[in-house]
């Protein structure tokens, strides 16, 4: 009688659709990759946590590489989208503030995703590395700097280099802040913008290293 009741209970249990199972496996994989990295995560554990056999995981993704690729791609899209949507201010400083806040918001609200990306995405992802993501974000910020450089009489061809520097500064600070979480992200963003903006406002048109110029003299 007990066995019959158990069988009926199982039959009444709602089975996941293919899409639901896929999302479950991605959620579990994302959590494990954030905790242990790509090499420290196994298909066996992903399957065990999902309550399925390994062949089910292979059926959906072809293996661990497949899950990782989708997780990384989603995180990169999310972060890039947040930054792009933040660049809506009326002037350059407002846009820089928006970009800094967007990056820190992602660190704060999508901590697992940031941990995965900041490890420098595994080659298996097929979507590039954290460095390539930073480059994509810098391309968006670059447009802001080109406008500012043109207004101030600086060479706009240098805007890509400055954009990489600014975005890299925020990203590295985000890695530090991920662990300490102090001060508040608004305060961190304000200090980052303070450093970058006040530096930009006093840029020399043709900077030179003082040590090199002294030697030449």
User: In this structure, is residue 89 part of a structural domain?
Assistant: yes
- 166, burial (CB in 10 Å: exposed 0-12, middle 13-18, buried 19+): buried
User: In this structure, is residue 17 part of a structural domain?
Assistant: no
CB under 8 Å to 89, separation ≥6 — which residues?
95, 97, 98
Total domains, the chain: 1
Rounded-to-integer distance, Cα 38 and Cα 125, Å: 10
Domain at 147, CATH number: 1.10.357.10
CA Rg, the chain, in Å?
A: 23
Per-residue model confidence as pLDDT tens digits over 137-185: 899 889 888 988 888 888 999 999 999 999 999 999 999 999 999 999 9
Average pLDDT over residues 69-90: 91
Query: For the chain, how many residues are written?
Result: 217
User: In this structure, is residue 6 part of a structural domain?
Assistant: no
Query: Six-digit token pair at 131?
Result: 């460095």
Lowest mean pLDDT among 4-8, 28-32, 80-84, 164-168: 4-8
What per-residue confidence (pLDDT) applies to 9?
47
User: In this structure, is residue 11 part of a structural domain?
Assistant: no
Per-residue model confidence as pLDDT tens digits over 101-150: 999 999 999 999 999 998 855 545 444 578 888 888 899 889 888 988 88
What per-residue confidence (pLDDT) applies to 126?
47
What per-residue confidence (pLDDT) applies to 52?
95
What secondary structure, in 3-state letters, does 140-156 show?
A: HHHHHHHHHHHHHCCCH
Range of the domain at 101: 71-202
User: In this structure, is residue 33 part of a structural domain?
Assistant: no
CB under 8 Å to 44, separation ≥6 — which residues?
54
Segment (H or E) for 204: none
Query: Six-digit token pair at 65?
Result: 């590489």
């Amino acid at each position: 009688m007990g066995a019959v009741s158990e069988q009926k209970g199982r039959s009444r249990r709602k089975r996941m659709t293919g899409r639901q199972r896929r999302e479950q496996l991605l959620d579990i994989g994302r959590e494990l990759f954030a905790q242990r990295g790509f090499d420290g995560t196994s298909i066996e554990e992903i399957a065990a946590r999902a309550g399925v056999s390994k062949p089910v995981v292979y059926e959906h993704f072809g293996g661990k590489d497949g899950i990782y690729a989708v997780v990384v791609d989603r995180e990169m899209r999310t972060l890039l989208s947040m930054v792009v949507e933040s660049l809506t201010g009326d002037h350059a400083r407002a846009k820089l503030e928006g970009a800094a806040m967007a990056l820190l918001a992602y660190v704060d609200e999508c901590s697992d995703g940031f941990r995965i990306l900041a490890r420098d995405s595994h080659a298996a992802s097929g979507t590039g590395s954290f460095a390539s993501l930073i480059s994509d974000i810098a391309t968006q910020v670059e447009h802001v700097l080109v406008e500012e450089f043109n207004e101030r009489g600086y060479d706009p061809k240098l805007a890509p280099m400055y954009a990489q520097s600014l975005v890299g500064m925020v990203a590295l600070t985000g890695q530090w802040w991920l662990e300490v979480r102090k001060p508040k992200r608004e305060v961190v963003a304000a200090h980052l913008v303070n450093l970058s903006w006040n530096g930009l406002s006093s840029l020399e048109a043709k900077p030179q290293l003082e040590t090199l110029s002294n030697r030449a003299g």
